[in-house]
Structure 1
């Protein structure tokens, strides 16, 4: 190994001191920061919020200080349908209700995986992976499907936001602390050869404590409720005695089995036109398996455009922090010219970013529009869940090149796939390691 010598550092320092251009850049960056100094205003000029296909939506929602973007994105796609079908100006589904059941189910999923790996050393990669983050706010499309199919949905007015759903750090801290405590107990029980029937009874006690913790922190999920509203014509409607499932069936009515996840992962270990799943990834034991079909990016965008052309928004997952401006809501590969600022080449291919830990899916949003010129996409309208104070009243614009580089997943109706694509999706999936970047949670 070669150490850094004092002489080498002095050489570097002298070269910078003698370079007036770099000293000028230093003053700008030290005062204003890297991104502010590197921002390219032409990105906004090239990505104006006007689109040839633009689905009507209500106001954007706000996930506040929580990692529930995947839930918000899914609930927003449903909200679009409710607004159109029932002539409503504004409406939101309860994110807190979905949040409650996801936490509850994730606790059980964690317990079962701890038992599944109980004969491995605590330092094995699988066990270490489970203990690193027993549960978190993030998730995948198929995970939210499992929650809706088991628990339905309710209006936000029936189970409003709570302090701990809007700002989830404390809840996650203590829930993970409990799950790690319980993992110790479960692994010790297996080590002592306690019968599994007895272990499951003990686990049931742990789940009761989790339920108690969630009820106190988030509120009690409703089992029956009345739904009343006024439509755009000011006509009053009320329906009494709904359950979360009957509400879902009547007011949302989406057959979630009709949708599949399409990804673009251009790495050598993931051939295109194959289906994939991820080890240890899920939230509901007995729920929907997480499964993707990996395709070329041109195919992914073609499918998203087809769904938008039919008036239906698209849930999608991306790396939102890459080359994006939060305040103006511009996501474009040319948004920042950091290479020129520092004279350093930061560029990687999409595959290299995935392989070397530079990028993965970090956020889920909704595609609600696209601008087409001669049938080719040039920019995309994105409904975010960060409130109206960012972007264009909460809506962002993604350039087509940005989509190519930093979008990893879309959710598409099965009927838009070719017979061959559907067969590829339904084939026996390749199982990816739990820590594979395509197992990232939005």
Structure 2
């Protein structure tokens, strides 16, 4: 073929397309129904039934609405199960607006500190450009959520309910981002003028006051103490009086966050298995524990997740939810759609290649609340609690095939007791620091 597409080449393309009658059938179906609806498969539905040999009772399905807080919703959906068990409750929700407030404030401080750390970096350089791109988006990681909980605790949803801005964060995020870029400019200009580090941090405190005020106006004032009242499954009235969010977490969730570890599956050449990793500039709470992952083969992630669920505990996990999945029916399976049959072409990239070439990364966090083990004890499908409301999937629950888990699940969080002795020893390594734009630095939305 020549360097350019000429008319003769176009004629060849057209003749090749018309020579195969299946192309015209596929075209008519797709024009009428859309690409995905034209190639949905029955096989995926039959193979991925909503029945599981291990099932964990969950609370009512939650809805993150028009916000990127899946990582918070998923973590709180795991944590509320502890409250429900301790208080004998049929259902309850922990406030998702409460950690959102503190996350935005902490991310603002983290961003401004990153700007201070990079004052000598060129404005047009990749590092500063990366920092300015998304100073405080909604997304996050498990370790970032853990840092919020350690510092601020949790509150029942009644104590800090949703606001319009927390349920639909676009406008709030846009305005906060505008202020943070303005503040970054002021800090860098102040540095050019010769202001000391002490003076720049004094300026930062004034800037954060403005961010705090905007958050209070948008989300509400976070409670310092509260009284929680409810009734248990048996109708018994419960009152927990004058308690702080930190004490509520300690007494009624009481998960030891230091015991929970992030396992990832990133089979790329630059990330050998058996090593720990962190990501430069990634985080929210300054002074908190840095994000840290242990990279293991996918089968080891599955074993740990199954072991935790066999003990009746749900599992937070992160995946690329938009790949080969149907959000309406809640189907996540490699054969959800027969795209190769529709287009008569293959889409061949393995997991490592998809990571290396920007085709896939972790985009969404959910909760594993069940798994189906076959007669040999091997998983063939997984039960997933999502946070998109009960109109998606089977009343909010999705089903994930095991081969989809292999290809598009990137992270799980489990209690360290479900790791073997060798894996625990690996966690003691000093983490390898990844570049800020590495795919393992992606945030779940």
Find the counterpart in structure 2 of residue 290 from structure 1.
291
Find the counterpart in structure 1 of residue 52 from structure 2.
51
Find the counterpart in structure 1 of residue 385 from structure 2.
383
**Residue 108 (1) aligns with residue 106 (2):** no
Find the counterpart in structure 2 of residue 412 from structure 1.
414
Task: Give, in whole Å, the separation in 1 of the partners of 2:86 and 2:4.
Answer: 68
Shift of 1:278: 0.4
Q: String of CA shifts for 1:215-247, please: whole Å, max 9, x gaps.
A: 000011011110111000000011211111111
Q: How does 1:26-425 map to 2 (within 5 A)?
A: 26-373=27-374, 374-425=376-427
Task: Give, in whole Å, the separation in 1 of the partners of 2:232 and 2:342.
Answer: 53
8 Å contact from structure 2 (residues 61, 387) kept in 1: yes
Find the counterpart in structure 1 of residue 3 from structure 2.
2
Q: Structure 1, unaligned stretches of length 5 or more? A: none
Q: String of CA shifts for 1:87-138, please: whole Å, max 9, x gaps.
A: 1111000000010000000000000001111101011111010011111000
Query: Bigger CA drift: 7-16 or 384-393?
Result: 7-16
Q: For residue 36 of structure 2, give the secondary structure of its aligned residue in structure 1.
A: helix
Query: Bigger CA drift: 135-144 or 411-420?
Result: 411-420
8 Å contact from structure 2 (residues 59, 77) kept in 1: no
Task: Give, in whole Å, the separation in 1 of the partners of 2:192 and 2:428.
Answer: 39
Task: Give, in whole Å, the separation in 2 of the partners of 1:223 and 1:36.
Answer: 50
Find the counterpart in structure 2 of residue 429 from structure 1.
431
Q: String of CA shifts for 1:381-426, please: whole Å, max 9, x gaps.
A: 0000001001010000000000000000000111111222112112
Shift of 1:5: 1.3
Q: String of CA shifts for 1:320-355, please: whole Å, max 9, x gaps.
A: 000111111110011111011001111210001000
Structure 1 consecutive aligned stretches of length 4 or more whose deviation exceeds 3 Å: none
Task: Give, in whole Å, the separation in 1 of the partners of 2:324 and 2:117.
Answer: 40
Q: String of CA shifts for 1:276-300, please: whole Å, max 9, x gaps.
A: 0000100011111100000001111
Shift of 1:81: 1.6
Task: Give, in whole Å, the separation in 1 of the partners of 2:438 and 2:3.
Answer: 32
Q: TM-score, normalised by structure 2?
A: 0.98
Task: Give, in whole Å, the separation in 2 of the partners of 1:421 and 1:188.
Answer: 48
Task: Give, in whole Å, the separation in 2 of the partners of 1:277 and 1:67.
Answer: 22
